[in-house]
Chains A and B, each alone.
Chain A
Amino acid sequence: MPETIEQRVFKVIAKNQRIPLEKVMIDSSFEDLSIDSIDSINILFDLESEFEIEINDEQARQIPRVREMVEGVILLVNAKEKASHES
């Protein structure tokens, strides 16, 4: 079974932060994971590479937890796929 977007986001966070994958859960807050503002910018940078998406600053400001990060990536990936079908 191919990996879900959620699983891939978890992996990016774990790898970027050098923390065990099992620590990253959908309801983890960044505070739980000791992720501060500079860590968050770092993770967004890796997510943009992993999914070939662009996360704007306004979207980036509204991410307090892993859940919003996953949901945001799903939205952007879907939008990208829709755009590529249309073109």
Chain B
Amino acid sequence: MGESGIGPIQQADVSTIRFKNGAEVRGYDPEQYFQPKHLGFMDRFAQFAVIAAREAVKMAGVEWTPELQDSTAIVTGSCIGGRGSDETGYRELFTNNRNRVHPLTIPLSMENAGASHISIEFGIQGPTFTISTACSSASHAIGQAFWMVRSGAASMAITGGSEAPMFYGGLKAWEAMRVVSSDTCRPFSADRSGMILGEGGAMLVLEPLETALARGVQPLAEIVGLGMSSDAFHLIQPKYTGPEKAMRAALRDARLNPEEIGYINAHGTATGANDQMEAQAIHAVFGERAGSLPVSSTKSMHGHTLGAAGAIEAVATVLALRDGVLPPTANYSKPDPDCVLDVIPNVARKLAVEFALSNSFAFGGLNAVLAFRAYRS
């Protein structure tokens, strides 16, 4: 572990863009997963949502019954949905002088397309919706699904997020924000130079522990808490008090004390603003332990997948708990005095921990933190 998936962006012509690297899903052939006819109805982000849901359902050994299909919820997160399909359509109007766009432009681009395709795929007819809170989308989605299952509003949930942001106009918009690194993603490192965009999807199957055990399946981990907050401060400049409140809320929801947390999967974007602020928030919550508490940013390997980030990082956290191996912060080279944390530099660490947090903080100041517990039978 510790291998970075970051490399030259291949899906778009980046010759006129200041950054050249991203974390793309490589060697992906959609026709291996979908009928050509169905592909016409699916933006890349929706394809990732369905593929991840199929893997999760298979791994969870779900056997659908009409009752289960009626009572299962689907909650997905996506920041930009199928905006790449919007771009394709608008290019016809603006540059190719056409007078019309493809008739499926709207259903391709809608943010809920991933959730809808999952519903159609499995015949799931329970509560199904999408949450779009920028980079916190998937964590908000998973948290919402968790609360629905815990309260009994749904007997099972498929939840996570997906994103496909590698299209020219979108990349240009990120370039204009001046937050993307020209080489790679080095979270918490003094020489960090910004984020690296990534794409992909991840989905979880959530159900009550006793139901899973009664079905005879082995849970990967338990989800035990959700904390949410808003900075109420600035559209893009984060303030540590918001993330601090969200982490405290997640601990409260999980009925945990800070000292019980053994690992944090950080938001860790590798921007100047996030990493310093996140370190400050962790210090505010964990006090003296903050400097020695293992904290890593897996974005250093899979990039910032925006609305899918919370889901991919939830999976990283769950597998860390299951396997007793904490993922590293890759590309780390130099300690930053403003980020005094044990960032698990460059090499994964064999360490069994019982409880972990996964942080997501979004533009707009919207924060969502999930708490997980290792499952020990």
Tell me the A residues contacting B by CB distance below 8 Å.
36-38, 41, 44-45, 56-58, 60-61
Determine whether the beta carbon of B237 is less than 8 Å from that of A41.
no
CB distance B18 to A57 under 8 Å? yes
Q: Assess the B178–A57 pair: CB atoms within 8 A.
A: yes
Judge whether B236 is part of the interface by a CB distance below 8 angstroms.
yes
| Bound: A45/B177 CA distance, A | 10
Given A37-B273, A41-B178: A57 and B236 interface contact (C-beta under 8 Å): no
A75 vs B235: C-alpha distance when bound (angstroms): 32
Chain B residues lying within 8 Å of A61, measured Cβ to Cβ, are: 272
By the criterion CB–CB under 8 Å, are B237 and A36 in contact? yes
Inter-subunit contact A38/B176 (CB<8 Å): no
B224 to chain A, nearest CB (A): 36
Known contacts A57-B178, A57-B182, A60-B178; A38/B194 CB under 8 A: no
Main secondary structure of the interface of B (DSSP, over half): loop
CA distance A60 to B194 in the complex (A): 13
The answer to whether B18 and A37 touch across the interface, beta carbons within 8 angstroms, is: no
**Whole-angstrom distance between the Cβ of B345 and the nearest chain A Cβ:** 24
Q: Mark B204-247, 1 if CB is under 8 A from A, else 0.
A: 00000000000000000000000000000011110000000000
Q: Which residue of chain A has the shortest Cβ distance to B179 in the bound complex?
A: A57
Pair count A-B, CB < 8 A: 24
B236 & A37 in contact (Cβ 8 Å cutoff): yes
A45 to B172, CA, bound (A): 13
What DSSP secondary structure best describes chain A's contact surface? helix
Query: Nearest Cβ distance between residue A41 and chain B, in whole angstroms?
Result: 6
In this complex, which of B178, B182, B235, B273 has the most chain A Cβ atoms within 10 angstroms of its Cβ?
Answer: B178
Residues of A within 8 A of B177 (CB): 41
Interface residues of B in 231-282 (CB under 8 A from A): 234-237, 272-273
Nearest Cβ distance between residue A4 and chain B, in whole angstroms?
Answer: 27
Q: Interface on B for A, CB 8 Å cutoff? A: 18, 176-178, 180, 182, 193-194, 234-237, 272-273
A-chain residues with CB within 8 Å of residue B234 when the two chains form the complex: 36, 38
Pick 8 A–B contacts, CB within 8 A, sort by A: A36-B234, A38-B236, A38-B237, A41-B178, A44-B178, A57-B180, A58-B182, A60-B178
CB contact between A56 and one of B18, B235, B273 (< 8 Å): that residue: B18
| Assembly CA distance A56 to B182 (angstroms) | 10
A44 to B18, CA, bound (A): 15
Complex Cα–Cα for A15 and B194 (A): 29
CA distance A11 to B237 in the complex (A): 26
B-side contacts of A45, CB under 8 Å: 176
Contact: A41 with B273, CB < 8 Å?
no
Q: Which A residues are in CB contact (< 8 Å) with B272? A: 61
Contact A41 B182 (CB under 8 A): no
Q: Which chain A residues border B18 with CB–CB below 8 Å?
A: 56-57
A57 to B180, CA, bound (A): 9
Report the 6 A-B pairs with minimum CB-CB distance, sorted nearest first. Answer: A57-B178, A38-B236, A60-B178, A41-B178, A37-B237, A36-B237
Measured between beta carbons, the chain A residues less than 8 angstroms from B235 are 38
Closest to A56 in B: B18
Question: Min CB distance, A17 to chain B, in Å?
Answer: 16
Q: How many Å from the CB of B9 to the closest CB on chain A?
A: 17
Is A41 a contact of B194 with CB atoms below 8 Å?
Answer: no
Partner of A57, one of B194, B237, B273: B194
Docked complex Cα distance between A58 and B179 (Å): 11
What is the minimal beta-carbon distance from A51 to any residue of chain B, in angstroms? 17
The one of A37, A41, A58 in contact with B176, judged by C-beta atoms closer than 8 angstroms, is A41
Residues of B within 8 A of A36 (CB): 234, 237
Task: Report the bound CA distance from A61 to B273 in whole Å.
Answer: 12
A44–B177 Cα gap in the complex (Å)? Answer: 11
Q: CA A58 – CA B235 in complex, angstroms? A: 23
